[in-house]
Amino acid sequence: MAYSGRQLHSMIDASGNLTLSLKQVIVPDPDDDEVIVRVEATPINPSDLGLLLGPADVSSLKEDSAGSRLTFTIPPGRLGPVAGRLGQSLAAGGEGAGTVVAAGKNAAEFVGKTVAMLAGGMYSDYRLIRAENVVVVPDGATAAQSASMFVNPQTSLGFVETARLEGHKAIIHAPAASNLGRMLQRICLADDIPLINIVRSQAQVEIMRSLGATRILNSNDDDFVARLTDEIAAVEATVAFDAIGGGSLGSTILHAMERAAIRNMKVYDRYGSDTFKQLYIYGNLDQSETIINRAGLGYNWGACGWLLPPFLQKIGEDGADRLRKRIVDELTTTFSSHYTRTITLSEALQPEILRAYARRAAGEKFLVNPALG
């Protein structure tokens, strides 16, 4: 029996209009090694918003009279980075979980099981996928608990692995109160790795403290830079992961690392410290230009992007299996995700709800459950 269901699509036309709509799609029968999953929980991560809304101006939102599609305009200067997707209707939603409702003959044992996957096109009623690409969730875990078991858990573990592989003793992270940042804090506590958490409000300081964090800095405090330098010097942090991306925070962190390193130098060197400092930009929460002020920074530093798929390639299948095993073992503790609200697929297209999840605010992650409507 072929399954039919809705799928949330995003399309940008050549004039810079972005349209979100629900399309009715037929899911073909699974072949011998495939399963069909009824999607029951799929998070809205910032990377999903990147595909759903691209660089569109959310305030330009218009709803059609039937309420079945939303359109936005993209300011002309922002079309360049999305030139490669113009005219293509793209299915959104990176990861999620649900119940296997049909399977080919080699995958029959999956029927009825709750599985999780990182597959794309997850904002759908049904998702056809090869059985080898799903993970059967641990006994007792729900689809909602398993919906975010790939992107943020693997990335936060990836930061710790990267720091270890490159010989860094301590990590700096911003923005720390994100879903990912909370996982990183729990990992660093368990693995005894000093972590300097950068947040931007007192409420976020309290959130991190409640997780056991001891090094928390509010970037809006007057003494932020001085305290950052002191914390870095205390734990000899030489690597930072920054998802804010735009603006000058990355530069501020590099300078604080340089000043902390210079404190420990016995002899002055006009080329700066002999300690290598690394800034990884792994997100684009602030879409403005990245500003790095080189004056006084010396020459012993690097700034580049960090992305999960190339990292997973680098550590190979054994490495990825090791991460996956820890995630499954600690799914409801270290890697638990909190959602403010569960919405249906149709609600994802309601203007007020879209404006709320498009804010990407700390502790306000949304979960979509297409099975609810």
Ligand X SMILES: NC(=O)c1ccc[n+]([C@@H]2O[C@H](COP(=O)([O-])OP(=O)(O)OC[C@H]3O[C@@H](n4cnc5c(N)ncnc54)[C@H](OP(=O)(O)O)[C@@H]3O)[C@@H](O)[C@H]2O)c1
Minimum CB separation of residue 210 from ligand X in Å reads 15
Contact 201, 221 (CB under 8 A): no
Rule CB under 6 A: is residue 308 a binding residue for ligand X?
Answer: yes
- Look-up of token digits 């011998």: 32
Residue of 17, 21, 47, 350 that binds ligand X (CB under 6 A): 47
Residues in region 70-129 near ligand X by CB under 6 A: none
Minimum CB separation of residue 42 from ligand X in Å reads 13
159 Cβ partners below 8 Å, 6+ apart? 171, 173, 184, 241, 280, 306
Residue of 91, 211, 285, 312 that binds ligand X (CB under 6 A): 285
3-state secondary structure string, 159-212?
A: HHHHHHHCCCCCEEEECCCCHHHHHHHHHHHHHCCCEEEEECCHHHHHHHHHCC
Minimum CB separation of residue 97 from ligand X in Å reads 16
Q: Which amino acid is at 208?
A: M
Q: What residue is closest to ligand X based on CB?
A: 283
Nearest to 249 by CA among 271, 228, 263, 275: 228
Q: Residue 83 is encoded by which pair of tokens?
A: 């030139």
Instruction: Pick between residue 35 and residue 367 the one whose CB is nearest to ligand X.
Output: 367
Residue of 45, 114, 278, 290 that binds ligand X (CB under 6 A): 45
Compose the 236-275 pattern: x for residues touching ligand X by CB under 6 A, - for all others: -------xx-------------------------------
DSSP state of 28: P
Residue of 306, 335, 339, 366 that binds ligand X (CB under 6 A): 306
Which of 14-22, 172-180, 221-229, 323-331 is the region at the interface with ligand X (rule: CB under 6 A)?
A: 172-180
Residue of 42, 145, 162, 179 that binds ligand X (CB under 6 A): 179
Nearest to 231 by CA among 279, 199, 262, 197: 197
- Look-up of token digits 């990590």: 171
Minimum CB separation of residue 170 from ligand X in Å reads 20
Residue of 9, 38, 200, 255 that binds ligand X (CB under 6 A): 200
